Amino acid sequence: MDYKNLIEESKKAREKAYVPYSKFPVGAALLAEDGTVYHGCNIENSGYSMTNCAERTAFFKAVSEGVRTFTALAVTGDTKGPISPCGACRQVIAEFCEGSMPVYLTNLDGALSETTVAELLPGAFSKGDLDFAAKK
Ligand SMILES: O=c1ccn([C@H]2C[C@H](O)[C@@H](CO)O2)c(=O)[nH]1
Ligand SMILES: [Zn+2]
């Protein structure tokens, strides 16, 4: 699937957002290696901290189905410029994706930032950091 279609999928995912508190729907579309697209929306809660972002919803859906290899991610929100994923989502994205994987950040007005997983979270804490201590 090309990136323009993946962005369209993220807009469809956004329509499912559960956002009674922020009224700020976000959609994510995560492309798996086999071509399957996993939709994610933000899901809020009256206990605000239990809110799950669109990006993490998409990853958790895929991983819970046994899928861990991804080739692209698109995210859309009604922001002035391209939407900016939060820190928690950047860490989850870094857990499952190569640094070179493309990430398409967009808004409803057609702004687009084509970035990568590594650019989203330089210096991410990773499994390698844990392995170093375990080897001692
Ligand atoms: O990249 C982002 C940024 C924000 N949100 C959600 C979290 C919350 O529901 C609402 C306002 O922060 O937007 C996402 O899902 N993804
Ligand atoms: Zn987030």
Strand 37-41: give its sheet, edge to edge: 37-41, 26-32, 70-77, 102-107, 112-116
Pocket probe for ligand 1: among 16, 80, 86, the residue whose CB has the most ligand atoms within 8 Å is 86
State residue 129's pLDDT score: 93
Residue nearest to atom 5 of ligand 1 (CA): 53
Per 3-state DSSP, the chain is made up of helix, strand and coil in percentages (nearest 5) of 35, 25, 40
Average pLDDT per block of 10 residues along the chain, 136 residues long: 97 98 98 98 98 98 98 98 98 98 98 98 93 90
Is ligand 1 within 6 A of the CB of residue 19? yes
Q: For residue 3, give the H/E element and its range.
A: helix 3-14
Domains of the chain as residue ranges with CATH: 3-134 (3.40.140.10)
Q: Is 55 a residue of the active site? A: yes
State residue 107's pLDDT score: 98
